[in-house]
Structure 1
Amino acid sequence: MEKETLSQYYIFLILIPVLCGTLARYLTLIVDYRQYPSYPNGYLIHLVTGFISSGIGAIAIPALLEKNFEAITFLFLATEQFRDVRRIEKESLQSLDDVEHVFRGEAYIDGIAKTFEARNYFALLVSFVTSLTMHIVPHKIMLINIIFGILSGVITLYILKNFSKGKAVQDIADISLAKITVKNSDLYVDDIFVTNHLGTDKSRKLVQDNGIAAIIRPKEEHFNRILNHNGQRQAIIFEICRVLGLKRYHYTRRDYETGRIAVVMVPIIYDEGAFIETIKKTPLLESIKKSYRIMDSNFNK
């Protein structure tokens, strides 16, 4: 009977952490307007990799206690495979870019791929901490082990999500609707010249009557460098075109004197609120973030 109880105990020591880690992976598949992967095949792929990650984290502690160092070596080798997740995601998104009306761009794709690799480590760490807690807590009362393990997993997920939480365009800029003006073949958004490629009466009428535009104003001068990056502007255009659809034409243009960014398009669905909200929530790309404090310290020397 004691052996049976001990066997059940070890099953719970592995099962509960695996479930916590897999659930953590599921919770990080946030459904919003930027949703990728798409349901259901994308969910399945990432939940399975999250389950495998959780299994690695759950088995690590028992393997150490049993002094099974070969298993530990195997676990470290298994984590190397998560890099393939990033590579596969990147290749998949790059192939999808060929059939999109508006490209995501290399910088945006790289950020998405890194995010999905990191979320597998979320599952691994949540599972590992849950397993570690359940081993530390006295195992005479199994229910207490489970409760403490789940609580530690929840706290770990909360810390990891806050640590890795990225910023959005609204954190560095103010966004407002703007007026579209067409003069001959020239297109203006407020006072910013955008393009002179509207060569026909039909195209000019289409943009004037059905176009929608916004001005993005950086809150501080050093944010100009981020908003002026082609990858960041491409990400903004991609998101608003995916939300509202693209009937015809999309442009971004920077005012070099003030750092303002003009965004204009002709959407399929005309929704000013969704247009502004999408721009606000477009994530800032990790690959283009810069520390202005370093520059300031160098100038002050």
Structure 2
Amino acid sequence: MIMGVIARTYMMKIDYRQYPTYPQAYLSHFTLGVIAAGLGAVVIPAITEKEYVAVTFLAIAAQHFRDVRSMERESLDNIEPTELVPKGTAYIEDIAKTFEARNYMAIITATATGTVMYIGELLQLSIFIRAIFGIVIGAIVINALNKMLETKLIDDIAEVKEAKITFEGPLLAIAGVIIMNIGLKDAREVFMKNGIAVEIVPKDENAIAILSNIGQRQAIQHNAAIQLGIRKDVDEPDFTPIARRNPENGNIVMAIVAMEPNIEYLIEAVRRTPIIESSKRKPLDSYVGKKVSMKD
């Protein structure tokens, strides 16, 4: 049970997104982690004592943790209207699924540790040796699950570079891609003075498919605005960052009027944006995709 709690606590990190919040959401997720670890810890004792009814509690727990996903989704949906630059439904769903999966991580770690300790008991090893083996296996499982659940970043699939902001009359353009119509002269001057822009160049066709996803682009916009700050208020839609796709090559361009207009910081913020699970595509792995790739 201790190893399961450690597994859940290890994955509980508060970063720039401030979610889970501290201390309310942090405490609730920690408590759920303790419950999940307890469920995983009793699996082996229940089976060895032939208390198979107790094992069915795992099925009930799985349903409960699915409800946790719904709870997180609802919570994030409720605060979404308060964001100057929204996360988007895809990003919210990704966060909710992550919290559900981390409770399963606590169950798996506790069960694996208990299994090793039970095997040690069958081999008549001392409690001290069994505890050491349990800790080692638990740590290996935690590390393996952490690697498996590790989220890839935009930097893994694309190159992010500086782009130039230009105006074609009132039309804001980046690298030849029209972004939007900025009607007010004052707003155009703000963009020319404080605006910074990037171009995201996919490394292959799979990356093009991922970056074409609207939810993925919303996540990039949100992360950039949160980390660099944004010079806008609720009644200034002209300054909302918009990531547009170049239909000719699949590149993504985005401009932002940031509180900290440093292009290096913007590039780094975009690079570190996580790839949303629902946006992942692998067209190159399909039959048609392979044929097209060979033809190219």
The answer on 1:170 being equivalent to 2:155 is yes
Residue in structure 2 matching 1:217, options 183, 201, 205: 201
What are the equivalent positions in structure 2 for 1:45-124 lying under 5 Å apart?
A: 45-124=28-107
Amino acid at match of 2:137: S
The answer on 1:154 being equivalent to 2:139 is yes
Going from structure 1 to structure 2, the CA distance change for 1:243 and 1:125 (only over 3 Å counts) comes to: same
Find the residue that maps to 2:241 and give its secondary structure.
strand
Where does the alignment leave 5 or more consecutive residues of structure 2 unmatched? 233-239
Match of 2:245 in 1: 254
Offset of residue 58 of structure 1: 0.4
Paired with 1:94 and 1:36, the residues of 2 have a C-alpha distance of 13
The answer on 1:179 being equivalent to 2:164 is yes
Match of 1:13 in 2: none
- Could you report, residue by residue, the CA deviation over 1:244-289 in whole angstroms, capped at 9, with x for unpaired residues? 1221331221111121111111112223332111111111111122
Contact 2:151 2:275 in 1 (8 A): yes
Match of 2:235 in 1: none
Paired with 1:262 and 1:20, the residues of 2 have a C-alpha distance of 45
Match of 2:192 in 1: 208
Amino acid at match of 2:200: I
Report the count of equivalent residues. Answer: 283
The answer on 1:25 being equivalent to 2:16 is no
Q: TM-score, normalised by structure 1?
A: 0.89
Offset of residue 204 of structure 1: 0.8
Between 164-173 and 43-52, the greater mean CA deviation after superposition: 164-173
Match of 2:177 in 1: 192
Find the residue that maps to 2:242 and give its secondary structure.
strand
The answer on 1:268 being equivalent to 2:251 is no
Paired with 1:193 and 1:261, the residues of 2 have a C-alpha distance of 12
Q: TM-score, normalised by structure 2?
A: 0.90
Where does the alignment leave 5 or more consecutive residues of structure 1 unmatched? 1-17
Going from structure 1 to structure 2, the CA distance change for 1:230 and 1:34 (only over 3 Å counts) comes to: same
Going from structure 1 to structure 2, the CA distance change for 1:137 and 1:234 (only over 3 Å counts) comes to: same
Paired with 1:191 and 1:293, the residues of 2 have a C-alpha distance of 28
Between 285-294 and 224-233, the greater mean CA deviation after superposition: 285-294
Q: How large is the Cα RMSD of the aligned pairs?
A: 1.8
Amino acid at match of 2:139: V
